[in-house]
């Protein structure tokens, strides 16, 4: 199945971002991850740090705004989180329209659910593997990294459930889900590249 756009959802610390970067390099296409935040900051006027920390946190419990985002651009009367979500969806759809690419995070799988030429991947790993990574590679504090994992994953879960109306990390939402700790980062990249070609 030749896929133009690959979305990568990921548990915190699973290496999803690294896999996305390496996959994009292998395929010779751009990877959008932090670039999304920079562009959203430009468009919205919000601080990039605010977007990074709060952009994946939902305030309410319906999928109304996702449907709205299909038709409307941001409306000042909506809560900030919802405005941001609509802008994010629109940006992701623009990028996917422009050229083949890899998009990491931000419910991209849901934003692009109508497109048949996408492959949606979920990267996860055991807590020990992820705790080690976030301390060693992300520079998180050594005290209780498990708590930090839980905080970040819970935010992503709530955000996904809220806007996509589905369970984050349920295999059925993705074409492929991989345990990067067991399979290894390089082999994850290799499998995804093989599928994308």
Residue 177 is a binding residue for a copy of itself (CB under 8 A): yes
Residue 78 is a binding residue for a copy of itself (CB under 8 A): no
Q: Which two tokens stand for residue 126?
A: 């055991």
Residue 114 is a binding residue for a copy of itself (CB under 8 A): no
Q: Which two tokens stand for residue 5?
A: 């756009």
Minimum distance between the CB of residue 178 and a copy of itself, rounded to whole angstroms?
A: 6
Task: Characterize 17-54 residue by residue with b for buried, 16 or more Cβ atoms within 10 angstroms of its Cβ, and e for exposed.
Answer: bbbbbbbbebbebebbbeebbebbbeebebebeebeee
Report 117-136 residues binding a copy of itself (CB under 8 A). 119, 122, 124
Minimum distance between the CB of residue 122 and a copy of itself, rounded to whole angstroms?
A: 5
Contact 179, 125 (CB under 8 A): yes
Residue 147: closest CA among 158, 134, 159, 138: 134
Stretch that binds a copy of itself, among 33-41, 46-54, 93-101, 165-173 (CB under 8 A): 165-173
- Binder among 43, 155, 161, 175 for a copy of itself (CB under 8 A): 175
Residue 169 is a binding residue for a copy of itself (CB under 8 A): yes
Cα–Cα distance, 9 to 152 (Å, whole number): 13
Residues within the interface to a copy of itself (CB under 8 A): 1, 11, 119, 122, 124, 167, 169-172, 174-179, 182-184, 187, 191, 194-195
């Amino acid at each position: 199945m030749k896929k133009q756009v690959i979305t990568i959802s990921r548990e915190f610390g699973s290496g999803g971002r690294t896999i996305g970067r390496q996959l994009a390099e292998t395929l010779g296409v751009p990877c959008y991850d932090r670039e999304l935040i920079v562009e959203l900051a430009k468009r919205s006027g919000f601080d990039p740090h605010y977007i990074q920390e709060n952009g994946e946190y939902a305030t309410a419990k319906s999928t109304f705004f996702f449907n709205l985002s299909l038709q409307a651009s941001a409306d000042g009367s909506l809560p900030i989180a919802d405005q941001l979500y609509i802008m994010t969806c629109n940006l992701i759809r623009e990028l996917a329209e422009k050229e083949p690419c890899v998009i990491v995070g931000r419910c991209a799988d849901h934003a692009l659910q109508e497109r048949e030429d996408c492959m949606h991947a979920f990267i996860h790993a055991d807590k020990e593997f992820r705790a080690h990574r976030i301390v060693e590679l992300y520079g998180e504090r050594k005290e209780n990294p498990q708590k930090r994992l839980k905080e970040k994953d819970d935010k992503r879960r709530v955000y996904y459930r809220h806007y996509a109306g589905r369970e984050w990390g349920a295999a059925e939402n993705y074409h492929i889900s991989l345990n990067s700790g067991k399979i290894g980062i390089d082999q994850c990249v290799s499998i995804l590249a093989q599928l994308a070609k």
